[in-house]
Structure 1
Amino acid sequence: MDSLLNDFSLEQFLSPIWLSFKIAIVAGILVIIVGTLVGRLLARKNFKGKTILETILMLPMVLPPTVVGFFLIIIFGKNSFAGQAIEWLFKQPIIFTWTAAVIASTVVAFPLMYQTAKAGFRGVNLAIEEAARVDGANEWQVFRTISIPLASSSLISGSVLSFARALGEFGATLMFAGNIPGKTQTIPTAIYIAIDSGNMKMAWLWVISIVLISFIMLFAVQRKEK
Protein backbone atom coordinates (compact mmCIF):
# COMPACT_ATOMS: atom_id res chain seq x y z
CA MET A 1 0.00 0.00 0.00
CA ASP A 2 2.83 2.41 0.82
CA SER A 3 4.41 1.65 -2.55
CA LEU A 4 1.12 2.40 -4.24
CA LEU A 5 0.72 5.72 -2.46
CA ASN A 6 4.23 6.71 -3.51
CA ASP A 7 3.22 6.33 -7.18
CA PHE A 8 0.59 9.04 -7.08
CA SER A 9 -0.91 11.71 -4.89
CA LEU A 10 -4.36 11.51 -3.33
CA GLU A 11 -5.28 14.67 -5.22
CA GLN A 12 -4.30 13.05 -8.49
CA PHE A 13 -6.57 10.10 -7.70
CA LEU A 14 -9.55 12.10 -6.44
CA SER A 15 -9.50 14.86 -9.08
CA PRO A 16 -11.13 12.83 -11.92
CA ILE A 17 -13.66 11.35 -9.49
CA TRP A 18 -14.70 14.74 -8.12
CA LEU A 19 -14.80 16.26 -11.61
CA SER A 20 -16.88 13.34 -12.91
CA PHE A 21 -19.39 13.84 -10.12
CA LYS A 22 -19.68 17.58 -10.76
CA ILE A 23 -20.18 17.04 -14.49
CA ALA A 24 -22.67 14.21 -13.93
CA ILE A 25 -24.65 16.24 -11.39
CA VAL A 26 -25.01 19.26 -13.69
CA ALA A 27 -25.74 17.06 -16.71
CA GLY A 28 -28.15 15.00 -14.63
CA ILE A 29 -30.13 18.06 -13.54
CA LEU A 30 -30.42 19.24 -17.15
CA VAL A 31 -31.39 15.78 -18.36
CA ILE A 32 -33.99 15.29 -15.62
CA ILE A 33 -35.68 18.63 -16.31
CA VAL A 34 -35.65 18.46 -20.10
CA GLY A 35 -36.23 14.70 -20.29
CA THR A 36 -39.23 14.89 -17.95
CA LEU A 37 -40.83 17.78 -19.81
CA VAL A 38 -40.23 16.33 -23.28
CA GLY A 39 -41.26 12.86 -22.12
CA ARG A 40 -44.54 14.22 -20.73
CA LEU A 41 -45.22 16.21 -23.89
CA LEU A 42 -44.55 13.39 -26.33
CA ALA A 43 -46.34 10.82 -24.19
CA ARG A 44 -49.59 12.68 -24.74
CA LYS A 45 -49.21 14.55 -28.04
CA ASN A 46 -49.51 13.14 -31.53
CA PHE A 47 -48.45 15.22 -34.51
CA LYS A 48 -46.97 14.87 -37.94
CA GLY A 49 -43.27 14.11 -37.76
CA LYS A 50 -43.40 12.83 -34.17
CA THR A 51 -41.73 9.54 -35.11
CA ILE A 52 -38.87 11.36 -36.82
CA LEU A 53 -38.41 13.66 -33.82
CA GLU A 54 -38.39 10.76 -31.35
CA THR A 55 -35.91 8.88 -33.52
CA ILE A 56 -33.57 11.89 -33.47
CA LEU A 57 -33.90 12.19 -29.68
CA MET A 58 -33.01 8.51 -29.25
CA LEU A 59 -30.06 8.49 -31.68
CA PRO A 60 -27.36 9.22 -29.05
CA MET A 61 -28.28 5.93 -27.39
CA VAL A 62 -27.28 3.84 -30.42
CA LEU A 63 -24.69 5.99 -32.17
CA PRO A 64 -21.01 5.42 -31.33
CA PRO A 65 -19.95 8.05 -28.76
CA THR A 66 -17.25 9.23 -31.16
CA VAL A 67 -19.96 10.06 -33.70
CA VAL A 68 -21.84 12.05 -31.06
CA GLY A 69 -18.59 13.86 -30.25
CA PHE A 70 -18.05 14.55 -33.95
CA PHE A 71 -21.48 16.15 -34.29
CA LEU A 72 -20.92 18.23 -31.16
CA ILE A 73 -17.67 19.54 -32.64
CA ILE A 74 -19.47 20.40 -35.86
CA ILE A 75 -22.32 22.15 -34.01
CA PHE A 76 -20.20 24.01 -31.45
CA GLY A 77 -16.91 24.34 -33.35
CA LYS A 78 -15.26 27.64 -34.15
CA ASN A 79 -16.64 27.65 -37.68
CA SER A 80 -20.26 27.08 -36.64
CA PHE A 81 -22.79 29.79 -35.85
CA ALA A 82 -23.32 28.44 -32.32
CA GLY A 83 -19.58 28.21 -31.72
CA GLN A 84 -18.92 31.74 -32.92
CA ALA A 85 -21.83 33.10 -30.85
CA ILE A 86 -20.53 31.38 -27.70
CA GLU A 87 -17.00 32.62 -28.32
CA TRP A 88 -18.30 36.17 -28.83
CA LEU A 89 -20.34 36.02 -25.61
CA PHE A 90 -17.79 34.32 -23.34
CA LYS A 91 -14.55 35.35 -25.09
CA GLN A 92 -13.43 31.74 -25.46
CA PRO A 93 -14.46 28.65 -27.44
CA ILE A 94 -16.51 25.99 -25.73
CA ILE A 95 -14.49 23.01 -27.00
CA PHE A 96 -12.04 21.51 -24.47
CA THR A 97 -13.79 23.13 -21.52
CA TRP A 98 -15.72 21.87 -18.50
CA THR A 99 -18.92 23.05 -20.18
CA ALA A 100 -18.16 20.87 -23.21
CA ALA A 101 -17.93 17.83 -20.91
CA VAL A 102 -21.34 18.71 -19.42
CA ILE A 103 -22.88 19.04 -22.89
CA ALA A 104 -21.43 15.71 -24.03
CA SER A 105 -22.70 13.93 -20.92
CA THR A 106 -26.11 15.56 -21.23
CA VAL A 107 -26.55 14.52 -24.86
CA VAL A 108 -25.64 10.86 -24.30
CA ALA A 109 -27.66 10.55 -21.08
CA PHE A 110 -30.81 12.27 -22.35
CA PRO A 111 -32.34 9.27 -24.21
CA LEU A 112 -32.42 7.17 -21.03
CA MET A 113 -34.30 9.83 -19.08
CA TYR A 114 -36.61 10.65 -21.95
CA GLN A 115 -37.54 7.03 -22.65
CA THR A 116 -38.25 6.13 -19.03
CA ALA A 117 -40.15 9.38 -18.41
CA LYS A 118 -42.32 8.84 -21.48
CA ALA A 119 -43.07 5.26 -20.43
CA GLY A 120 -43.93 6.44 -16.92
CA PHE A 121 -46.30 9.16 -18.11
CA ARG A 122 -47.97 6.78 -20.55
CA GLY A 123 -48.76 4.56 -17.58
CA VAL A 124 -50.65 7.35 -15.82
CA ASN A 125 -54.41 6.91 -15.98
CA LEU A 126 -55.83 9.63 -18.23
CA ALA A 127 -59.12 9.58 -16.30
CA ILE A 128 -57.34 10.76 -13.14
CA GLU A 129 -55.72 13.68 -14.97
CA GLU A 130 -59.03 14.58 -16.60
CA ALA A 131 -60.83 14.49 -13.25
CA ALA A 132 -58.31 16.99 -11.89
CA ARG A 133 -58.95 19.28 -14.85
CA VAL A 134 -62.70 19.04 -14.29
CA ASP A 135 -62.11 20.06 -10.67
CA GLY A 136 -60.42 23.23 -11.93
CA ALA A 137 -56.74 22.31 -11.98
CA ASN A 138 -54.68 23.89 -14.76
CA GLU A 139 -52.15 21.95 -16.83
CA TRP A 140 -49.21 22.83 -14.58
CA GLN A 141 -51.13 21.71 -11.49
CA VAL A 142 -52.15 18.46 -13.19
CA PHE A 143 -48.54 17.84 -14.21
CA ARG A 144 -47.10 18.69 -10.79
CA THR A 145 -49.66 17.06 -8.48
CA ILE A 146 -50.96 14.15 -10.58
CA SER A 147 -48.65 13.16 -13.43
CA ILE A 148 -45.29 13.42 -11.66
CA PRO A 149 -46.32 11.59 -8.44
CA LEU A 150 -47.95 8.75 -10.38
CA ALA A 151 -44.92 8.42 -12.70
CA SER A 152 -42.41 8.95 -9.89
CA SER A 153 -41.05 5.38 -9.95
CA SER A 154 -40.09 5.67 -13.62
CA LEU A 155 -38.75 9.19 -13.14
CA ILE A 156 -36.51 8.12 -10.26
CA SER A 157 -35.20 5.14 -12.24
CA GLY A 158 -34.56 7.34 -15.27
CA SER A 159 -32.77 9.91 -13.14
CA VAL A 160 -30.41 7.37 -11.58
CA LEU A 161 -29.69 5.63 -14.89
CA SER A 162 -29.07 8.96 -16.61
CA PHE A 163 -26.70 10.06 -13.86
CA ALA A 164 -24.82 6.77 -14.14
CA ARG A 165 -24.62 7.15 -17.92
CA ALA A 166 -23.33 10.72 -17.60
CA LEU A 167 -20.78 9.58 -15.02
CA GLY A 168 -19.45 6.90 -17.36
CA GLU A 169 -19.42 8.89 -20.59
CA PHE A 170 -16.13 8.55 -22.46
CA GLY A 171 -16.05 8.82 -26.26
CA ALA A 172 -17.99 12.02 -26.85
CA THR A 173 -16.32 13.67 -23.86
CA LEU A 174 -12.81 12.76 -25.04
CA MET A 175 -13.47 14.18 -28.52
CA PHE A 176 -15.40 17.28 -27.50
CA ALA A 177 -13.91 18.18 -24.11
CA GLY A 178 -10.52 16.49 -24.29
CA ASN A 179 -8.57 15.07 -21.37
CA ILE A 180 -7.16 18.01 -19.43
CA PRO A 181 -6.22 17.03 -15.84
CA GLY A 182 -8.18 19.02 -13.29
CA LYS A 183 -10.35 20.56 -15.99
CA THR A 184 -11.97 17.97 -18.24
CA GLN A 185 -10.36 14.68 -17.17
CA THR A 186 -13.14 12.41 -15.93
CA ILE A 187 -12.81 8.87 -14.55
CA PRO A 188 -13.25 7.13 -17.95
CA THR A 189 -10.70 9.34 -19.71
CA ALA A 190 -8.31 9.03 -16.77
CA ILE A 191 -8.57 5.23 -16.99
CA TYR A 192 -7.84 5.35 -20.71
CA ILE A 193 -4.74 7.50 -20.25
CA ALA A 194 -3.53 5.42 -17.29
CA ILE A 195 -3.75 2.20 -19.32
CA ASP A 196 -2.18 3.85 -22.35
CA SER A 197 0.77 5.00 -20.22
CA GLY A 198 1.12 1.62 -18.50
CA ASN A 199 0.04 2.87 -15.08
CA MET A 200 -2.13 -0.12 -14.22
CA LYS A 201 -2.25 0.68 -10.48
CA MET A 202 -4.03 3.95 -11.11
CA ALA A 203 -6.23 2.37 -13.76
CA TRP A 204 -7.34 -0.34 -11.35
CA LEU A 205 -8.15 2.14 -8.60
CA TRP A 206 -10.32 4.25 -10.91
CA VAL A 207 -11.96 1.15 -12.40
CA ILE A 208 -12.84 -0.17 -8.95
CA SER A 209 -14.16 3.25 -7.95
CA ILE A 210 -16.52 3.66 -10.91
CA VAL A 211 -17.66 0.02 -10.74
CA LEU A 212 -18.59 0.47 -7.06
CA ILE A 213 -20.38 3.76 -7.73
CA SER A 214 -22.30 2.31 -10.68
CA PHE A 215 -23.17 -0.85 -8.74
CA ILE A 216 -24.57 1.15 -5.83
CA MET A 217 -26.73 3.29 -8.13
CA LEU A 218 -28.07 0.34 -10.12
CA PHE A 219 -28.68 -1.63 -6.92
CA ALA A 220 -30.71 1.31 -5.59
CA VAL A 221 -32.81 1.33 -8.77
CA GLN A 222 -33.47 -2.41 -8.51
CA ARG A 223 -34.49 -2.04 -4.87
CA LYS A 224 -36.80 0.83 -5.74
CA GLU A 225 -38.51 -1.16 -8.50
CA LYS A 226 -39.15 -4.06 -6.11
Structure 2
Amino acid sequence: MNYSIHFMGDSAIIIHFEIKADESFPLLQLIAKDIERQLGSIILEVVPAYQSITIHYTPSILSHDRMAELEEILKTMPRLNNHSTLSHSRKVIIPVCYDEEYAPDLQQLCHQLALSKEEFISLHTRPVYSVHFIGFTPGFPFLIGLPPQLSASRKPNPRLKVKAGSVGIAGSQTGIYPEDSPGGWQIIGRTPVPLFITSKSPPSYLCPGDTVVFTSISSTEYKLKLNHLTTRNDT
Protein backbone atom coordinates (compact mmCIF):
# COMPACT_ATOMS: atom_id res chain seq x y z
CA MET A 1 0.00 0.00 0.00
CA ASN A 2 1.41 3.38 -1.00
CA TYR A 3 1.72 6.26 1.46
CA SER A 4 3.27 9.71 1.78
CA ILE A 5 4.58 11.56 4.85
CA HIS A 6 4.09 15.31 5.36
CA PHE A 7 5.27 17.53 8.22
CA MET A 8 2.70 19.72 10.00
CA GLY A 9 4.84 22.42 11.57
CA ASP A 10 7.47 21.22 14.05
CA SER A 11 5.25 19.06 16.26
CA ALA A 12 3.31 16.69 14.02
CA ILE A 13 3.46 14.63 10.86
CA ILE A 14 0.62 13.16 8.84
CA ILE A 15 0.86 9.93 6.87
CA HIS A 16 -1.56 9.70 3.93
CA PHE A 17 -2.41 6.20 2.68
CA GLU A 18 -3.76 5.24 -0.73
CA ILE A 19 -6.65 3.15 0.53
CA LYS A 20 -10.43 3.24 0.24
CA ALA A 21 -12.08 4.85 3.24
CA ASP A 22 -14.48 1.93 3.71
CA GLU A 23 -11.54 -0.49 3.98
CA SER A 24 -9.19 1.62 6.04
CA PHE A 25 -10.41 1.36 9.62
CA PRO A 26 -9.03 -2.01 10.80
CA LEU A 27 -5.75 -1.62 8.96
CA LEU A 28 -4.97 1.94 10.06
CA GLN A 29 -5.88 1.06 13.65
CA LEU A 30 -3.30 -1.75 13.56
CA ILE A 31 -0.65 0.51 12.05
CA ALA A 32 -1.38 3.22 14.63
CA LYS A 33 -1.03 0.69 17.45
CA ASP A 34 2.30 -0.48 16.00
CA ILE A 35 3.57 3.10 15.86
CA GLU A 36 2.42 3.75 19.43
CA ARG A 37 4.04 0.56 20.70
CA GLN A 38 7.39 1.10 19.02
CA LEU A 39 7.73 4.90 19.25
CA GLY A 40 5.63 5.57 22.33
CA SER A 41 8.47 7.11 24.31
CA ILE A 42 8.69 10.13 21.99
CA ILE A 43 5.10 10.42 20.83
CA LEU A 44 2.38 12.52 22.45
CA GLU A 45 -0.55 11.11 20.45
CA VAL A 46 -1.30 8.97 17.41
CA VAL A 47 -4.57 9.85 15.66
CA PRO A 48 -5.87 7.49 12.95
CA ALA A 49 -8.50 8.79 10.53
CA TYR A 50 -10.12 7.39 7.37
CA GLN A 51 -7.09 7.54 5.10
CA SER A 52 -4.38 9.00 7.29
CA ILE A 53 -2.56 8.79 10.61
CA THR A 54 -1.38 11.93 12.40
CA ILE A 55 1.50 11.66 14.86
CA HIS A 56 1.91 14.44 17.45
CA TYR A 57 5.27 14.76 19.19
CA THR A 58 7.29 17.21 21.23
CA PRO A 59 8.98 19.74 18.92
CA SER A 60 12.59 18.89 17.94
CA ILE A 61 12.46 15.39 19.45
CA LEU A 62 11.71 13.40 16.27
CA SER A 63 15.27 12.80 15.09
CA HIS A 64 16.43 11.44 11.73
CA ASP A 65 17.02 8.07 13.41
CA ARG A 66 13.45 8.04 14.67
CA MET A 67 12.13 8.97 11.23
CA ALA A 68 14.07 6.00 9.82
CA GLU A 69 12.48 3.83 12.51
CA LEU A 70 9.04 5.09 11.49
CA GLU A 71 9.81 4.26 7.87
CA GLU A 72 10.74 0.69 8.91
CA ILE A 73 7.46 0.33 10.79
CA LEU A 74 5.55 1.43 7.69
CA LYS A 75 7.52 -0.96 5.46
CA THR A 76 6.44 -3.89 7.63
CA MET A 77 2.91 -2.58 8.21
CA PRO A 78 0.09 -5.13 8.62
CA ARG A 79 -1.81 -6.19 5.53
CA LEU A 80 -5.55 -5.79 5.09
CA ASN A 81 -6.15 -9.54 5.25
CA ASN A 82 -4.77 -9.54 8.79
CA HIS A 83 -7.23 -7.00 10.13
CA SER A 84 -9.22 -9.66 11.98
CA THR A 85 -6.58 -9.51 14.70
CA LEU A 86 -7.93 -6.12 15.78
CA SER A 87 -10.27 -6.63 18.72
CA HIS A 88 -13.11 -4.20 19.35
CA SER A 89 -12.90 -2.93 22.91
CA ARG A 90 -16.63 -3.16 23.62
CA LYS A 91 -20.19 -2.92 22.35
CA VAL A 92 -22.08 0.14 23.59
CA ILE A 93 -25.84 0.71 23.56
CA ILE A 94 -26.78 4.38 23.13
CA PRO A 95 -30.39 5.37 23.89
CA VAL A 96 -31.79 8.07 21.59
CA CYS A 97 -34.98 10.09 21.74
CA TYR A 98 -36.23 10.80 18.21
CA ASP A 99 -39.10 13.08 19.33
CA GLU A 100 -39.49 16.35 17.44
CA GLU A 101 -38.15 18.58 20.23
CA TYR A 102 -34.80 16.74 20.00
CA ALA A 103 -34.84 16.03 16.26
CA PRO A 104 -35.29 19.31 14.35
CA ASP A 105 -34.32 17.79 10.96
CA LEU A 106 -36.04 14.42 11.21
CA GLN A 107 -39.40 15.38 9.69
CA GLN A 108 -37.77 17.06 6.67
CA LEU A 109 -35.41 14.11 6.18
CA CYS A 110 -38.30 11.65 6.28
CA HIS A 111 -40.06 13.67 3.58
CA GLN A 112 -36.86 13.93 1.51
CA LEU A 113 -36.10 10.19 1.79
CA ALA A 114 -39.74 9.08 1.37
CA LEU A 115 -39.78 7.30 4.73
CA SER A 116 -42.19 7.37 7.63
CA LYS A 117 -40.75 8.36 11.00
CA GLU A 118 -41.15 4.77 12.20
CA GLU A 119 -39.29 3.44 9.13
CA PHE A 120 -36.51 5.97 9.64
CA ILE A 121 -36.03 5.07 13.31
CA SER A 122 -36.14 1.36 12.51
CA LEU A 123 -33.41 1.77 9.91
CA HIS A 124 -31.25 3.96 12.16
CA THR A 125 -31.44 1.60 15.14
CA ARG A 126 -30.91 -1.60 13.13
CA PRO A 127 -27.13 -1.61 12.38
CA VAL A 128 -24.16 -2.27 14.61
CA TYR A 129 -22.02 0.82 13.95
CA SER A 130 -18.23 1.04 14.21
CA VAL A 131 -16.44 3.99 15.79
CA HIS A 132 -13.83 4.79 13.16
CA PHE A 133 -12.30 7.75 14.94
CA ILE A 134 -12.91 10.57 17.40
CA GLY A 135 -12.60 14.11 16.09
CA PHE A 136 -14.12 17.46 15.14
CA THR A 137 -14.65 18.23 18.85
CA PRO A 138 -13.36 16.20 21.85
CA GLY A 139 -15.35 12.99 22.15
CA PHE A 140 -17.22 13.29 18.82
CA PRO A 141 -17.52 9.76 17.34
CA PHE A 142 -17.62 9.22 13.58
CA LEU A 143 -19.76 6.10 13.14
CA ILE A 144 -19.74 3.90 10.06
CA GLY A 145 -22.57 1.54 9.17
CA LEU A 146 -25.43 3.90 8.30
CA PRO A 147 -27.96 2.22 5.96
CA PRO A 148 -27.67 3.78 2.48
CA GLN A 149 -31.39 4.65 2.58
CA LEU A 150 -30.58 7.24 5.29
CA SER A 151 -27.66 8.93 3.58
CA ALA A 152 -28.16 12.70 3.58
CA SER A 153 -25.98 15.72 2.85
CA ARG A 154 -24.91 18.23 5.49
CA LYS A 155 -27.04 21.31 5.99
CA PRO A 156 -26.16 24.14 3.55
CA ASN A 157 -26.00 26.57 6.49
CA PRO A 158 -24.58 25.10 9.72
CA ARG A 159 -26.26 25.88 13.01
CA LEU A 160 -24.40 28.16 15.39
CA LYS A 161 -25.33 25.89 18.30
CA VAL A 162 -26.14 22.18 18.31
CA LYS A 163 -27.08 20.81 21.73
CA ALA A 164 -24.87 18.26 23.48
CA GLY A 165 -26.04 14.70 22.87
CA SER A 166 -27.53 15.51 19.46
CA VAL A 167 -27.36 12.61 17.02
CA GLY A 168 -26.75 13.61 13.43
CA ILE A 169 -26.28 12.33 9.90
CA ALA A 170 -23.82 13.64 7.31
CA GLY A 171 -23.36 11.74 4.08
CA SER A 172 -22.94 8.06 4.89
CA GLN A 173 -21.99 8.69 8.53
CA THR A 174 -23.84 9.17 11.76
CA GLY A 175 -22.35 10.85 14.82
CA ILE A 176 -23.06 12.39 18.21
CA TYR A 177 -22.23 15.91 19.40
CA PRO A 178 -20.60 15.55 22.85
CA GLU A 179 -21.03 19.22 23.79
CA ASP A 180 -22.86 22.34 22.64
CA SER A 181 -21.11 23.48 19.47
CA PRO A 182 -21.68 24.78 15.95
CA GLY A 183 -22.44 22.06 13.42
CA GLY A 184 -23.91 21.28 10.04
CA TRP A 185 -25.07 17.67 10.44
CA GLN A 186 -28.75 16.77 10.05
CA ILE A 187 -30.04 16.35 13.63
CA ILE A 188 -32.37 13.37 14.05
CA GLY A 189 -32.42 12.79 17.81
CA ARG A 190 -30.63 13.22 21.12
CA THR A 191 -29.06 10.92 23.68
CA PRO A 192 -28.84 11.59 27.43
CA VAL A 193 -25.48 9.76 27.58
CA PRO A 194 -22.55 12.16 28.19
CA LEU A 195 -19.79 11.46 25.68
CA PHE A 196 -16.97 13.57 27.09
CA ILE A 197 -16.25 14.09 30.80
CA THR A 198 -12.96 15.76 31.62
CA SER A 199 -12.78 14.21 35.09
CA LYS A 200 -12.87 10.68 33.64
CA SER A 201 -9.90 8.73 32.32
CA PRO A 202 -10.15 8.49 29.41
CA PRO A 203 -12.50 11.46 29.10
CA SER A 204 -14.11 10.18 25.88
CA TYR A 205 -16.91 7.67 26.46
CA LEU A 206 -16.41 6.06 23.04
CA CYS A 207 -13.10 5.02 21.51
CA PRO A 208 -12.01 3.89 18.03
CA GLY A 209 -12.80 0.20 17.66
CA ASP A 210 -15.94 0.34 19.81
CA THR A 211 -19.22 -0.74 18.26
CA VAL A 212 -22.46 1.13 18.86
CA VAL A 213 -26.13 0.20 18.70
CA PHE A 214 -28.80 2.88 19.00
CA THR A 215 -32.06 2.16 20.82
CA SER A 216 -35.16 4.38 20.66
CA ILE A 217 -36.53 5.87 23.90
CA SER A 218 -39.42 8.21 24.71
CA SER A 219 -39.09 11.81 25.83
CA THR A 220 -39.98 10.77 29.38
CA GLU A 221 -37.26 8.10 29.37
CA TYR A 222 -34.81 10.62 27.96
CA LYS A 223 -35.43 13.10 30.78
CA LEU A 224 -35.22 10.40 33.47
CA LYS A 225 -31.96 9.02 32.08
CA LEU A 226 -30.50 12.51 31.63
CA ASN A 227 -31.28 13.40 35.23
CA HIS A 228 -29.88 10.08 36.50
CA LEU A 229 -26.67 10.25 34.47
CA THR A 230 -26.07 13.94 35.26
CA THR A 231 -26.52 13.29 38.98
CA ARG A 232 -24.22 10.25 38.89
CA ASN A 233 -21.46 12.06 37.00
CA ASP A 234 -21.60 15.05 39.36
CA THR A 235 -20.89 12.88 42.39
The two structures share one fold, judged by TM-score above 0.5 = no
Q: Which has the higher helix share?
A: 1
What TM-score comes out, normalization by structure 2 length?
Answer: 0.22
Which structure would you say has the larger RCO, counting Cα contacts within 8 Å and 6 or more residues apart? 1
Q: Which has the higher strand share?
A: 2
